[in-house]
Structure 1
Amino acid sequence: MTSKVPGQESAAIGLLSRAVQLDTAKRFTEAIVCYQEGIQLLLDVMKVTQEESKRQAMRQKVEEYMVRAEKLKTHIEEEKQSGRYHEQILIKNDSTGHSYERLISRFIDGDLTLVEVEDPYIRSNHQIYNFLRFCEVLIKAKHNHNLQRIILTTGKDGNNPNSTQAHNDQKRKLDELAANLLTYQVQLQVQYKDNLHDREIRFDNGWIIKVGRGLDYFKATNGKFVIGFCDFDLRKCHETTVDIFHKKHTNTKYDCG
């Protein structure tokens, strides 16, 4: 048995315990990820465990979790096919562990070619940086999908005496991002709409994510050289609700009410 096994076994137990918690809370897509990662870790530990009784106990646990994970996958697929899938997550005030990567990465697959973001407040500097980080998650996972286009619909930055200059600055920053995304073979289309209220992320593989606060649900840090400034999994959040839906036909604006 290698020295890594105790740590791996502990990590597997932690992941599988988390999977059960998420499963119970009906956060099924998150639960599936934890089941898969926990099962794989436990299988890795089994390979180097010499004690047969312990191997047998692990094998039984793996089988139990695999059965549950498969049932959960079937349930999710049935709900998706019927157009009834709905999952809700409450992000609590000051909680951490809610980066964009955790929010969307499990919905990225080989069918994804288009992502639409409707958020009225991609205007100020930090909000545009938030959108940039969101795009980085998509680009980082691009080997898992065939993303070709991102459409951002937002409001103009014009709520101040220098409204023209503010919008010009907003447009310049988003144009710079668009030019950079082209180097990754992804087109960014930005459209501005007055009186926009929806906050919604739509994937053309059917997944729809509605975040109450839009992308701007992270709190500012108390400085630029503090933990959480760069890693959003360590950044405290404002309270907000995330609703996740799946629609079979996603070529029109979705009605998720």
Structure 2
Amino acid sequence: MTQNNVPGMEASAISVLKRAVELDNTSRFQESLICYQEGIQLLLDVLKAVKDDSKKVHYREKIKGYMERAEQIKVHLTREKEEGKYHEQIKIADNATGYSYDRLFRPYISETLTEVWVEDPYIRYVHQLYNFLRFCEMLIKAPCKVRRVHLLTSQDENESSSQQMSALAEIKQSLKQHNVTLDLEYSSTIHDREIRFNNGWIIKIGRGLDYFKKPKGRFSVGYCDYDLRECHETSVDIFHTKHTRTT
């Protein structure tokens, strides 16, 4: 990295670390830890490039402070997980943006993640089926090796039931080409919405995967990029357990 790149890298580091502090202050520790780690790495890259000794001292002090806080959070998270007490809540406001599946779930995805359970009664209509497909696409692109996805949903009893079954069959076949097995199960009594990762994370979203608002048009911003799509108001509760269901 040249001196010309330092201002841009420094601005990126400040932005990421500012976000880390904001998340830290609202007790969203898992997300804040990831931001701290990313920001610290950016500052380390800046430190390698700067020539001014006084700036080097400044960056070293900043890095030390952020590393100490990141380590405190890591210890806290480890203790909470070990004791089965971890609970974090994210409140998504009405019309909020920036909550794509990638943004929401990425902090809880790790290299050890290989199996996912999705319980959501509303994977029926076209937009809901696309939501599930996008969720699966996110898993395929994420830094993990998911090999099996379990979907428990309710079956549409109207004339569109054949569309639901056809779409899910197509998703299943498509996932197979990416070495991911989709297990389908239907229940007429399912009500709760829950997503479980076999690395211990449990994510409960009040509205399930269907928390996005309908775009204003097919050529409106947010139609393709879910980070720009407006959301319905909902709450996301995150828990961690050392024991996850395996059947």
Distance 2:121 2:217 in 1: 27
- Once structures 1 and 2 are overlaid, which stretch shifts more, 222-231 or 200-209? 222-231
Q: Which string of whole-angstrom CA distances, capped at 9 and with x for unpartnered residues, describes residues 49-102 of structure 1?
A: 111101110111001101110110111011001111000100111111111011
| Residue 147 of structure 1 pairs with residue 146 of structure 2 | yes
Distance 2:98 2:200 in 1: 25
Correspondence for 1:210:
204
Distance 2:113 2:223 in 1: 30
Residues 68-147 of structure 1 correspond to what in structure 2 (within 5 A)? 68-141=69-142, 144-147=143-146
Correspondence for 2:185:
191
Q: Compute the TM-score of the two structures, normalised by the length of structure 2.
A: 0.96
Distance 1:40 1:214 in 2: 34
Point out 4+ residue stretches in structure 1 off by more than 3 angstroms: none
CA RMSD of aligned residues (A): 1.3
Three-state SS of the structure 2 residue aligned to 1:117 is: strand
Three-state SS of the structure 1 residue aligned to 2:220 is: coil
Distance 1:231 1:56 in 2: 41
- Once structures 1 and 2 are overlaid, which stretch shifts more, 168-177 or 145-154? 145-154
Three-state SS of the structure 1 residue aligned to 2:3 is: coil
Correspondence for 2:219:
225
Distance 1:235 1:56 in 2: 43
Distance 2:20 2:61 in 1: 17
Q: Which string of whole-angstrom CA distances, capped at 9 and with x for unpartnered residues, describes residues 79-138 of structure 1?
A: 001111000100111111111011112222232221000111000000000000000010
Q: Which string of whole-angstrom CA distances, capped at 9 and with x for unpartnered residues, describes residues 205-229 of structure 1?
A: 1100000010001111111112111
The size of the alignment, in residue pairs, is 246
Distance 1:61 1:51 in 2: 16
Three-state SS of the structure 1 residue aligned to 2:160 is: helix
Give 5+ residue unaligned stretches, structure 2: none
Which letter does structure 2 place at the counterpart of 1:4?
N
Q: CA deviation at 1:252?
A: 6.7
Correspondence for 2:62:
61
Task: State the identity as a percent.
Answer: 54
Correspondence for 1:48:
49
Q: 1:227 and 1:3, CA in 2 relative to 1: closer, same or farther beyond 3 A? A: farther
Q: CA deviation at 1:197?
A: 0.8
Give 5+ residue unaligned stretches, structure 1: none
Distance 2:20 2:79 in 1: 20
Correspondence for 1:5:
6
Which letter does structure 1 place at the counterpart of 2:161?
H
| Residue 234 of structure 1 pairs with residue 233 of structure 2 | no
Residues 13-32 of structure 1 correspond to what in structure 2 (within 5 A)? 13-32=14-33
Which letter does structure 2 place at the counterpart of 1:224?
R
Which letter does structure 2 place at the counterpart of 1:155?
S
Correspondence for 1:174:
168
Distance 1:42 1:151 in 2: 41
